[in-house]
Structure 1
Amino acid sequence: MTLDNLALFLMIVEKGGLSAAGRELGLSPASVSERLAVLESYYGASLLTRTTRSLSLTDEGRLLADGARRLLAEADELETSIRLGTQKISGLIRLSAPVDLGQSRIVPILDRFLAEHPSVSIDLNLTDGFVDLVSQGIDFAVRYGVLADSTLRSKPIGENRRVICAAPGYLERNGTPRHPDDLSRHDCIVMRFGSNIDRVWTFRVASEAYRVVVRGRRVANDGGLVRQWCLDGHGLCNKSIWDVQADLVAGRLVEVLPDYSPGQTALQIVYPPVSVLPRRVRALIDTISSELALSDVQPGHDE
């Protein structure tokens, strides 16, 4: 068993197949299959379940993936410390963030971080859908809301609230909703998260959660597109205050139903439960956390 074989195993998991992993590492399919067989023989267990169309981890494979990621992180940390000293960080960082927040706030932070650390490279996955950090080989993600996976660790950044808003032109043509029930008469621009469409919007009425099913002719899995459609006057949208604060301040969008806001949820950085994070990953997590905390958007506060 070698660290190279563990790294190959993680690449197979990340790419979803032996051939794809081989192409990434410049190995033939036969070589990848042979080295996987060596690993399975070493551990005396089947690590992957393979069909003609899919690949999934066995229980033993998931345990090895978690442990391999931890071992490789520790080995990388040791090599970096010895080769480059304690003051320099290097290597690839893979992270994920929501589309709007990523483009408007995370990317400028990454640009400054890369300028300060020329030996670091970044692989950024901007998506509003679910990301499996372990299986996709992502070091950390910036996420809204509570953790669905309780095995992940988290670092709080700040508070977030949802805002129902529309362009002034849309409200002039269609009127302004005064109660959540009024949304049934409006065009609502809806987000898709994977296979789930967010047609149920939550409010707070008389201190109780109040859910409304909304309708609309536009659905998208891209938060940036939802915001743009809203700016173009195509309907109401339900967005994070982090994404639309500048539009609200500039008057491009108008918040509606502020008295029925459901309250605040967390904005946080989440990462796999490894015992050692590479110094470059820790440094970027700390940088993003501190810079976003300084620009934390609170209700009633302008940027």
Structure 2
Amino acid sequence: MNLKDVEVFCAIVAVGNLTRAARTLGSTAMTVSRRLALLESELGVRLLQRTTRAVSLTSEGEEFLPYARAMVEAEQTAKNMFSAGATGAFGLLRVTAPSGFGRRNVLPLLPELMAANPQMKVELNLSEDAVDIVAQGYDIAIRIAPLRDSRLVAHRLADNPRVLCASPAYLQRNGAPKLLADLKNHACLRLSALPWWLFENQGGAVSYTPDARFSCSSVEGVREMCVAGAGIAQLTALDIREEAARGELVPLMLEDMAMPALAVWALLPTRRYTPRRVTAFLAVLKQSLG
């Protein structure tokens, strides 16, 4: 398989257009189209659907894309190994993470990581959307919610159970709930996207819909209101780790309910080849999560 043909395929996917891909590669649209046709002929499948304005991946193209990127990356890594003065990880690390988690747990790691790897660049997407990392070319997706996409390679980074919490001031004024039913007598603070709170009872899932006095689209908003003494929230252990350590928030336990287990996961598009920039990032993130 000609690596130049594979590189052309990756470039087309990156920009979504044959002409722009040719401009990026310093080539012509005709050459780019011919190389793509040669690659498809060799593989025996159609990788891209073409229109006059854009291209889109076929299912076969989507399946092949992680391997294509891995081949191009492997070639670049091999060249970089023998480049004068080359040290550490290199290339563009593309990461997507939930906004609250990313601001608190990912952003603080990047200055030191980038200083230790001068040839590495980072693109961080902070979003609550479940990004298709294969089609959009991300190296890593950080997920807190239960995993659904079995096509991806999952690495468990840390436990992160759900937790009820409130400030000492709120508990002094209102007391702590002991049973699930007690929550109806308390001011509840929730995330707008999660209208219910989840618990476990004898191994079974139990959902509770709080009559929320305050709701917010971000973890930061709910956490700040909770610290301010406005009510009780259900967040995760990592969401309140710093506040709990400072005594600003108190984790609460119910006698008739347990808290569901969650974890922080790193999702990768393929296990065939993991770039050094990915392993370097995952190592520092896992260490920071404890």
The TM-score, its normalising length taken from structure 1, stands at 0.76
Q: Select 1:287's aligned residue among 280, 284, 289.
A: 284
Match of 2:11 in 1: 8
Q: Which moved more, 1:277-286 or 1:179-188?
A: 179-188
**Structure 2 SS opposite 1:60:** helix
Identity, in percent, stands at 27
Q: Pairwise mapping of residues 137-216 of structure 1 onto structure 2 (< 5 A)?
A: 137-171=137-171, 176-192=176-192, 197-216=193-212
Greater Rg over alpha carbons, structure: 2
**Structure 2 SS opposite 1:204:** strand
**Structure 1 SS opposite 2:207:** strand
**Structure 2 SS opposite 1:242:** coil
Which stretches in structure 1 are left out of the alignment for 5+ residues?
297-303
**Structure 1 SS opposite 2:136:** coil
- Residue 93 (structure 1) shift: 0.9
- Residue 289 (structure 1) shift: 2.0
Match of 2:227 in 1: 231
- Residue 104 (structure 1) shift: 2.4
Match of 1:115 in 2: 115
For the pair 1:251 / 2:254, whether they are aligned, the reply is no
Match of 2:66 in 1: 66
8 A contact 1:129–1:221 mirrored in 2 = no
CA RMSD between the two structures: 3.5
Distance 2:30 2:232 in 1: 52
8 A contact 2:97–2:125 mirrored in 1 = yes
Structure 1 ranges of 4+ moved more than 6 A: 31-34, 49-52
Match of 1:47 in 2: 48
Which stretches in structure 2 are left out of the alignment for 5+ residues?
none
Match of 2:94 in 1: 94
Q: Which moved more, 1:155-164 or 1:40-49?
A: 40-49
8 A contact 1:18–1:32 mirrored in 2 = no
Match of 2:274 in 1: 277
8 A contact 2:92–2:121 mirrored in 1 = yes
**Structure 2 SS opposite 1:83:** coil
Distance 2:48 2:77 in 1: 26
Distance 2:7 2:105 in 1: 36
Distance 1:34 1:162 in 2: 54
Distance 1:169 1:25 in 2: 63
Distance 1:40 1:188 in 2: 59
Distance 1:185 1:50 in 2: 60
The TM-score, its normalising length taken from structure 2, stands at 0.79
8 A contact 2:180–2:254 mirrored in 1 = no
Per-residue Cα deviation, 1:44-81 (whole angstroms, up to 9, x for no partner)? 636147699x9753213212323322222222222222
